[in-house]
Structure 1
Amino acid sequence: MLLEVDRVTEPVSDLAEKVRRYTDWFELLAPKADPDRERLARREGAEVRGFRLWSRLSPPTGREGYVPLAFVVTGRTAARRESRIRHLEHAARAYFAGEPYPGRAAGITAVDYHRALPVVVTELERITADPAGAAGKVWRRLGRDEWQTLHQALDNPDGDRLYAVQLKEARRRLAEREAAEREARRPVCTGCGNRFSDDRWRQVRPSGWPGERDHLCGPCEQDDLARIEAERCARRRAEEAAARAAAGVKSRGLFGRRR
């Protein structure tokens, strides 16, 4: 962790400038790193730590973002220190606040901290007054209101972990919505009123000229074909019976004349 001790003797703009310079250093590319690949990875929301110089000099933090920066403020009054922290928070927000995840789906509020500089603040007076000292809830992450332990302040519960949960939920909602829209488009059989099965729907989807029975579901199509076949067989039998009857009448008439 980087550490700055602030005795409330320099302008807040100088503190914000320090945050900017630290950020600029963390964004320096490592020797022989491909800047085009780094820009592409950044646009796609990929982890870009491996392209940066600091990754060759510092071990992984185990969290999203750069190596954290801590300001220990001391001196003057508690009100003056609080006002100073608030002004620093406003001036340096662009460097610690994180960004929306690229192409984020609706309902995702998680923050992408991978290219952010975590900034925590404390007061020396607060540390000395707490029985647990620096291990107590004497740290505040800029961008948050509560005082926490250092571990809590550096954690990102609204970062990757929340993003994974919200992305899974967003994908579930999207799948449900697409399924509902698909069901709304599923054809309804004009014969029985039931919706088509997936197999039948695939058969009748437009691929050329519409079929004669595309308005019927599979069972109704089979019933219609069976009805037509039965009618055809009945007509054939009727025609054969009529032909036999006609032949019999002709035969009897012929014998009659012979008598």
Structure 2
Amino acid sequence: MPAMLLEVDRVNEPVDDLTAKLRRYHDWFGLLAPKADPAREKAARGAAVHDFRLWSRIYPATGREGYVPVAFVFTGKTAEQRESRMRRLEQAACGYFAGAPYPWAGFTAVDYHQAVPVVVAELERIIADPAGAAGKVWRRLGREEWQTPGEALDNPDGERLYLMQWKEAHRRREEREAAEREAQRPVCTQCGTGFTDERRQQTTRSSWPGEWDGLCGPCAQEAADRARAERVARCEAEESAAREAAEAEVKKGRGLFGRRR
């Protein structure tokens, strides 16, 4: 880990004092850096907010959500007293390390970006473990299991889970919207086939209803071809009738002229 703030406790301070330390850490992490724009900091979301904070000018990036982690190492007294102390600190300081739920229904991920990751250990446990401080001797406040430092500071329920849940929510929304669009898809009044997206756009492009807007593409094409053929046949019939009428007039004229002679 790039940095960690360490507090050693011999089980001789009031838990309220330990909680006050975490409160001061949390408040200090919220301080703006010199010349930082408060409006931009307020508008920032997620990890971007830390770019405007003083702590990011002093400590390296943690590589995880949240502020620089704080570790409490307890030693002395009995194991029961140390355990009780850790539990009381966990209850009293929850508001500083627990993170915040994302404000969307169905999301179980936790936003740790403005939380102080707090891990606790016992010096006696560290000494007894062959791996020392690198072993499973740390417990993240808010969890039950003892883990390695990296495991304890990891956030499997944080941003990674949020991105997975966001993608899943986005997929479900697209499916729901597609189902709604499908339910509203027009159906051909002639053959009962649903309109294609292209045909649907064609029929809704104009505010004026078209002659065959109730028909799907193939049926509309057939209707158009049939209407065109009928117009051609009608025109040909009219031309033929006009030609026959003209020829009849010519014959009639010739007959009248012949009688006068």
Q: Same fold (TM over 0.5)?
A: yes
Structure 2 counterpart of 1:67, which letter? V
Distance 1:252 1:46 in 2: 100
Task: State whether residues 110 and 163 of structure 1, in contact with CA within 8 Å, keep that contact through their aligned partners in structure 2.
Answer: yes
Deviations 1:110-154 (A, max 9, x none): 222111100000112222222222221110000111100111101
For the pair 1:236 / 2:235, whether they are aligned, the reply is: yes
Q: How is 1:9-28 mapped onto 2 (pairs within 5 angstroms)? A: 9-28=12-31
**Which residue of structure 2 aligns with residue 78 of structure 1?**
79
Aligned twin of 1:61 = 62
Corresponding position of 2:53: 52
Name the Cα RMSD after superposition: 2.5
Measure, in 1, the Cα distance between the counterparts of 2:65 and 2:215.
57
1:59-111 C-alpha deviation (Å, 9 max, x unpaired): 1122111111011112222222222211111111111111234x64x443222
Identical amino acids, percent of aligned pairs: 68
- Cα separation, 1, equivalents of 2:6 and 2:195: 68
Q: Counterpart of 1:96? A: 97
Contact 1:8–1:73 (Cα < 8 Å) also in 2: yes
- Paired residue type of 1:66: Y
For residues 188 and 45 of structure 1, what CA distance do their matches in structure 2 show?
Answer: 47
**How much has 1:158 moved relative to structure 2?**
1.8
Q: Please state whether the residue corresponding to 1:48 is helix, strand or coil.
A: helix
Q: Which residue of 1 aligns with 2:38?
A: 35
When residues 60 and 247 of structure 1 are mapped into structure 2, their CA distance, relative to the original with a 3 A threshold, is closer
* Contact 1:47 1:114 survives alignment (8 Å): no
Provide runs of 4+ in structure 1 moved above 4 Å: 240-258
**Matches of 1:183 and 1:196, distance apart in 2:** 10
The answer for the alignment partner of 1:197 in structure 2 is 196
State the match for 1:187 in structure 2.
Answer: 186
Equivalent-residue separation in structure 1 for 2:116 and 2:178 (angstroms):
41
In structure 2, C-alpha distance between the alignment counterparts of 1:63 and 1:238, rounded to whole Å: 84
How far does the alpha carbon of each residue in 1:147-204 deviate from its partner, in whole angstroms, 9 at most, with x for none?
0011110111222222222222222222222222222222111122112222221111
Aligned partner of 2:223 in structure 1 is: 224
Contact 1:119–1:141 (Cα < 8 Å) also in 2: yes
Please, what TM-score do these two structures have when normalized by structure 2?
0.87
| Alignment: residue pair count | 255
Residue in structure 2 matched with residue 135 of structure 1 by the alignment: 134
Question: Do the aligned residues in 1 keep the contact of 2:47 with 2:65 (CA within 8 Å)?
Answer: no
Question: 2: CA distance between counterparts of 1:135 and 1:213?
Answer: 76
Q: How does 1:146-225 map to 2 (within 5 A)?
A: 146-205=145-204, 207-225=206-224
Question: How far apart, CA to CA, are the structure 1 residues paired with 2:100 and 2:237?
Answer: 82
Q: Given the alignment of the two structures, is residue 110 of structure 1 paired with residue 134 of structure 2, yes or no?
A: no
Compute the displacement of 1:29 (Å).
0.8
| Structure 1 residues 70 and 94: CA distance shift in structure 2, 3 A | same
Unaligned runs of 5+ in 2: none
* Counterpart-to-counterpart distance in 1, 2:252 and 2:39: 102
Matches of 1:131 and 1:205, distance apart in 2: 74
Change (3 A) 1:149 1:46: closer
Give the letter for the 2:28 counterpart. W
Amino acid at match of 2:93: A
